Structure 1
Amino acid sequence: MTPQFEYSQNVNPEDVKRLGNILDQCFLELDESESYFNRIGVENLRVIHQNEQIAGGLAIIPMSQWWGGVNVPMTGIAAVGIACEYRGTGAAIALMQHTVKELYANGVPISVLYPATQRLYRKAGYEQAGSACIWEILAQSIQVREQPLPIKPVVPINLELFHDLYQKQARLNNGHLDRNQFIWQDVSRPLEKQTPYAYIIGEANQPQGYIIFSQHPDKDGAILRIRDRVVLTTAAAQTFWSFIANHRSQIDKIRWRSSAVDSLSLMLPEQTAKIKHISRWMLRVIDVVKALEKRGYPTKIQTELHLKVEDDLIAQNNGKFILSVANGRGEVTKGGKGEFKLDIKGLAPLYTGLFTPQQLQITGKLQATETSLDTATQIFAGSSPWMIDFF
């Protein structure tokens, strides 16, 4: 730990003002800082000082994330910003290390962030863990006409109508958030001053999905940006594409967030949907025992994996652990053979299933016996992790 920096969980009004100035300079696309702080909560800000001068700060976002069909408590990290004059001094890594230690002390199993640079966050134990892709399609190319379900506007937008539908879809997708109020507000907040619109798919007493979107002018033609969507049935998926296609007289392109392999595009007659942008968010296992015990696992397997973990920041995460899996849940005990060796960074993409154990071994992220590789493959099998939300 860098000794010359002082970490603070209690941020005074003067620090809030100064941190706002720092973040305004760091993030050209960040909301006006006062509005952002009001939405995220001043109590969730953390700052770091040197000689009583604020060097930078960040925001923590307490929420949860779905893994193996189970809701795992997770803290998101956002708006990490360091004042220009303190960059290169070690302030950023000191800030992240202090934050990770605070999360461990508070019993948080895992933490997730969207990195501007990987190098910093890898030093703090984070690693690539899931996909965040932006897809695009020309409206004219959708060519889906049949609409089996009614689709009705929700005016004004009442987010409570969408909560249960979202949860049904989220629990089926590894990495999806159990959204808190801050994330839900972001879904329906005007984007680039363009009005959001919301529609329920299906009958009001038995909805099968929804869509929230906004329309944006662009030099290459108008764009419909899908802010959020839930599609729970085949009929809902057909209706979704038909509804989007019906915008083709005014809209040139459709953009939406999805995984690297978008299942909804399978319904299109041709492969006209393309990935416009792909990136990966990062995860850190804050507490090895809690993280492994709180996620879900395949229900049909009963086995155990003997891990040996190295973590140069959280001493309690070091050592040998036995992960015993049965009936879809895991139990961790100390000890074992330690035949599956990895550091805390390597544990992140294994935990999420972004890469297979064999892929992680080839890239030098772990060392394991053939038997333990096969066991880990069974344990961490599941859908490829992704998020529709950005924070």
Structure 2
Amino acid sequence: MTPQFEYSQNVNSEDVLRLGNILKQCFIDLGENESYINRIGVENLRVIHQNEQVVGGLALIPMSQWWGGVSVPMTGIAAVGIACEYRGSGGAIALMQHTVKELYENGVPISVLYPATQRLYRKAGYEQAGSACFWEIPALSIQVREQLLPVKPVVPINLEVFHDLHHKQATLNNGYLNRNQFMWEGVSKPLEKEPLYAYLIGEADQPQGYIIFSQHADKDDTILRIRDWVVLTTAAAQTFWSFLANHRSQIDKIRWRSSPVDPLTLLLPEQTAKLKHISRWMLRVIDVVKALEKRGYPKKIQTELHLEIEDDLIAENNGKFILSVANGRGEVTKGGKGELQLDIKGLAPLYTGLFTPQQLQITGKLQGTETSLDIATQIFAGSSPWMADFF
């Protein structure tokens, strides 16, 4: 731990003002600092000082994330900013290391962030763990016409109408957030003062999905931007596309967030939907035992995985562990053969299933016996992890 920095969990009004100015300079598109900080809550801000001067800070977002059909407590890290005159001083890594230690002391299993630079966060034990993707399709190319379900507007927009539907979709997708109030408010916050439109897919008493979107024009095209969506049935998927196709007279392109391999595109007659952008968010296993025990696993597998883990920041994460899996849940005990060796960074993409154990071994992220690699492949199998939210 870098000694010349002082980490503060209790942030006073002067610290908030200084941090707000730092974040405004760091993040040109953060929006109104006061509004953002009010939504985050001052109690979730952390700052780091040097000689009583605020060097930088970050925001904690307590929530949870779906892994193996189980919601695992997770703390998101957002708005990490260092004053420009202190950049390169070691303040950023000191801030992150203190934060990770605090999260461990508070019993947090995992933490997730969107990196501006991977090198910094890897020093704190984070690694690539899931995808954030933007897709685009020309409206004229959709060519799905039959609308199997009614589509009804939600006016005014009441986000509570969508909570249960989002929950049902989230349980099926590794990496999805179990959204808290802060994240739901982000869904309804207008972009560039664009009005939002929300529609339920299906009958009002038994909806099968929804879509929330805005529309805008740039110098070349008119764009329909899907802010949030849920599709739970085949009929809802068909209706989703036919509803969007009906905008073709006024809309040139449609953009949405989805997984790297979007199953919705299987309903399109041609491969006209294109993956326009993909980036990776990062995860850190804060507490090895809690993280492995709180996620879900394939229900019909009963086996043991013998791990040996290195963590240069959290001493309690070091050593040999046996992960016993049965009936969809895991139990961790100390000891074992240590047949699968990896550091805390290598554990992140294994835990999430972003890469297979064999791929992680080829890239030097772990080493294991053939048996341990096969067992790890079975228990961490699942849908490719992705997230529809940004924080």
Normalising by structure 1, what TM-score?
A: 1.00
- Equivalent residue, structure 2, for 1:363: 363
What's the secondary structure of 1:112's corresponding residue?
strand
Give the distance between the partners of 1:376 and 1:112, measured in 2 at CA: 22
- Equivalent residue, structure 2, for 1:135: 135
Give the distance between the partners of 2:68 and 2:142, measured in 1 at CA: 33
Give the distance between the partners of 1:177 and 1:31, measured in 2 at CA: 23
- Equivalent residue, structure 2, for 1:271: 271
Give the distance between the partners of 2:253 and 2:124, measured in 1 at CA: 39
What's the secondary structure of 1:14's corresponding residue?
helix
Structure 1 residue 192 displacement after superposition: 1.2
Instruction: Report matched runs for 1:290-369 at 5 Å.
Output: 290-369=290-369
What's the secondary structure of 1:104's corresponding residue?
helix
Q: Does 1:109 align with 2:109?
A: yes
- Equivalent residue, structure 2, for 1:222: 222
Give the distance between the partners of 1:34 and 1:226, measured in 2 at CA: 27
What's the secondary structure of 2:299's corresponding residue?
coil
What's the secondary structure of 2:251's corresponding residue?
coil
Structure 1: any 5+ residue segments left out of the alignment?
A: none
Q: Does 1:242 align with 2:242?
A: yes
Give the distance between the partners of 2:40 and 2:247, measured in 1 at CA: 34
- Equivalent residue, structure 2, for 1:16: 16
- Equivalent residue, structure 1, for 2:71: 71
- Equivalent residue, structure 1, for 2:31: 31
What residue identity is the alignment partner of 2:317? N
- Equivalent residue, structure 2, for 1:180: 180
What residue identity is the alignment partner of 1:219? K
- Equivalent residue, structure 1, for 2:84: 84
Q: 1:89-141, CA deviations, whole angstroms, 9 ceiling, x for partnerless residues? A: 00000000000000000000000000000000000000000010000011111
Structure 1 residue 217 displacement after superposition: 1.3
Structure 1 runs of 4+ with >3 Å offset: none
What residue identity is the alignment partner of 1:326? A
Give the distance between the partners of 2:153 and 2:86, measured in 1 at CA: 50
Give the distance between the partners of 1:215 and 1:24, measured in 2 at CA: 27
- Equivalent residue, structure 2, for 1:145: 145
Structure 2: any 5+ residue segments left out of the alignment?
A: none
What's the secondary structure of 1:260's corresponding residue?
coil
Q: Does 1:211 align with 2:191?
A: no
- Percent identity for Structure 1 against Structure 2: 86
Q: 1:312-360, CA deviations, whole angstroms, 9 ceiling, x for partnerless residues? A: 0000000000000000000000000001000000000000000000000
- Equivalent residue, structure 2, for 1:121: 121
- Equivalent residue, structure 1, for 2:197: 197
Tell me how many residue pairs correspond in the alignment.
391
What's the secondary structure of 2:160's corresponding residue?
helix
What's the secondary structure of 2:148's corresponding residue?
coil
Structure 1 residue 32 displacement after superposition: 1.1
Give the distance between the partners of 2:315 and 2:370, measured in 1 at CA: 28
What residue identity is the alignment partner of 1:308? E
- Equivalent residue, structure 2, for 1:100: 100
Normalising by structure 2, what TM-score?
A: 1.00
Give the distance between the partners of 2:148 and 2:134, measured in 1 at CA: 27
- Equivalent residue, structure 2, for 1:380: 380
Q: Does 1:252 align with 2:252?
A: yes
Q: 1:47-66, CA deviations, whole angstroms, 9 ceiling, x for partnerless residues? A: 00000000000000000000
What's the secondary structure of 1:162's corresponding residue?
helix
Q: 1:50-92, CA deviations, whole angstroms, 9 ceiling, x for partnerless residues? A: 0000000000000000000000000000000000000000000
Give the distance between the partners of 1:227 and 1:302, measured in 2 at CA: 40
What residue identity is the alignment partner of 1:210? Y
What residue identity is the alignment partner of 1:194? E
What's the secondary structure of 1:101's corresponding residue?
helix
- Equivalent residue, structure 1, for 2:56: 56
Give the distance between the partners of 1:356 and 1:31, measured in 2 at CA: 39
- Equivalent residue, structure 1, for 2:170: 170
Structure 1 residue 27 displacement after superposition: 0.6
Give the distance between the partners of 2:221 and 2:382, measured in 1 at CA: 39
What's the secondary structure of 2:248's corresponding residue?
coil
Give the distance between the partners of 1:251 and 1:235, measured in 2 at CA: 23
Give the distance between the partners of 1:113 and 1:219, measured in 2 at CA: 33
What residue identity is the alignment partner of 1:121? Y
Give the distance between the partners of 1:162 and 1:295, measured in 2 at CA: 25
Task: Tell which deviates more after alignment, 27-36 or 59-68.
Answer: 27-36
What residue identity is the alignment partner of 2:50? Q
What's the secondary structure of 1:202's corresponding residue?
strand
Structure 1 residue 28 displacement after superposition: 1.1
Give the distance between the partners of 1:42 and 1:247, measured in 2 at CA: 43
Give the distance between the partners of 1:308 and 1:291, measured in 2 at CA: 15
Give the distance between the partners of 1:383 and 1:220, measured in 2 at CA: 36
Q: 1:268-306, CA deviations, whole angstroms, 9 ceiling, x for partnerless residues? A: 000000011100000000000000000000001100000
What residue identity is the alignment partner of 2:323? L
Give the distance between the partners of 2:17 and 2:373, measured in 1 at CA: 51
Give the distance between the partners of 1:216 and 1:4, measured in 2 at CA: 49
Give the distance between the partners of 1:220 and 1:379, measured in 2 at CA: 48
